[in-house]
Chain A
Amino acid sequence: MNPVAGGVNQMRLANIIGIVVLLLAMFGIDVSDEQRQVISAGLGALGLIINQVITEINSRKGTMLSDNQAVKADVTTITPQVVQVSGGGTDAAVTKLQGGFARVSALWLIAGCVFLLAATACTFTKPESVQDTIATGYTLVKTAAQLTGSAKLNGAISAAQRDQYLYAIQNAKDSLDAASQLVPVDLSSAEGKANAATTILNTIITELKKLQPTVQGALT
């Protein structure tokens, strides 16, 4: 599969899943346990998909990232001076613009992932649903890692592909770790729900503040 075309298709799938979840939230549909499990599994898979897309965007730039912070580190290492040395005149401007688009795309995907996790916590007001979502995500991550190891042992994928998949899986796992920090202690009371909402909003604001200078830097 063409990695770029694959990324586009995965993004479409991610959008469809996200829209379904948001619609459920908007109309307050009371889903059954079975339906909730399916949605939970979908959300877990969504984390994997989004991270895979981020990986593909960065691989198109010829950059293999090693951890979550690498995206930010990568942005700081590509400076206008570097672009000016490698290109000249119009070429440099085009290179810079393309680099800027790639960086902004990756950053907004990360921001979208954070927002989606927060929206998920808000969508499922029943406490067990939040924990279930995260627990299902961890189970999917474990299964995906085992599958990747098996595929490498069977020679179906190369060592480089294994590393790329594990990078995406590790990011998904890290996202789940971050989401598990949002699990409120008590959602049974109005006060507990208000505290949870405050925590989630503060997390979103903090993440957006972190992204703001980097996005501005990419655009200028």
Chain B
Amino acid sequence: MNPAQILQLLQLANIALSVVESAGVNFKKLADLRAKAKAEGREISAEELQQLSADAQSAIDAAKGA
């Protein structure tokens, strides 16, 4: 395995870790939101959906500057 291939492998491992970390945090938040709504005997509200939408847009805008 040449240095370029090793570097590529490290990059892939780094990305895989990022995916696991990001997805884990994001879906934990979603699960918490569901649990909170369920505990309060209601559905996910329009305001909460708007907040999720804003979060998603922020992530897109941040990625544009990456």
Q: Of A139, A148, A170, which is within 8 A of B52 by CB?
A: A139
Q: Give CA–CA (A152, B64) in the complex, Å.
A: 10
How distant is A98 from chain B, measured CB to nearest CB, in Å? 32
- Chain A residues with Cβ below 8 Å from B34 are 132, 135
Contact (Cβ within 8 A) A132 B44: yes
- Chain B residues with Cβ below 8 Å from A141 are 56, 59-60
Question: Could you list some 20 contacts between A and B, CB below 8 A?
Answer: A131-B43, A131-B49, A135-B49, A135-B52, A138-B49, A139-B26, A139-B29, A141-B59, A141-B60, A142-B52, A142-B59, A143-B23, A146-B18, A146-B62, A146-B63, A150-B66, A154-B11, A162-B66, A173-B57, A176-B53
The 0/1 profile, CB within 8 Å of A marked 1, for residues 15-50 of chain B is: 100110011001101100110010000011010111
- Size bracket, chain B contacts: 20 to 34
* Secondary structure dominating the interface of A: helix
Cβ of A123 < 8 Å from any Cβ of B?
no
- A128, A138, A142, A150 pick with most chain B CB within 10 angstroms: A142
How distant is A129 from chain B, measured CB to nearest CB, in Å? 9
Cβ of A169 < 8 Å from any Cβ of B?
yes
Cβ of B14 < 8 Å from any Cβ of A?
yes
List which A151-185 residues lie within 8 A (CB) of chain B: 151-156, 162-163, 166, 169-170, 173, 176-177, 180, 183
- Residues of A participating in the B interface, judged by any CB pair closer than 8 Å: 127-128, 131-132, 134-136, 138-139, 141-143, 145-156, 162-163, 166, 169-170, 173, 176-177, 180, 183
Contact (Cβ within 8 A) A147 B19: yes
Contact (Cβ within 8 A) B15 A154: yes
- Chain A residues with Cβ below 8 Å from B14 are 150, 154
- Chain A residues with Cβ below 8 Å from B55 are 138, 142
Contact (Cβ within 8 A) A145 B49: no
How distant is B18 from chain A, measured CB to nearest CB, in Å? 4
Q: Do A138 and B53 form a contact, CB below 8 Å, given A128-B43, A132-B34, A146-B18?
A: yes
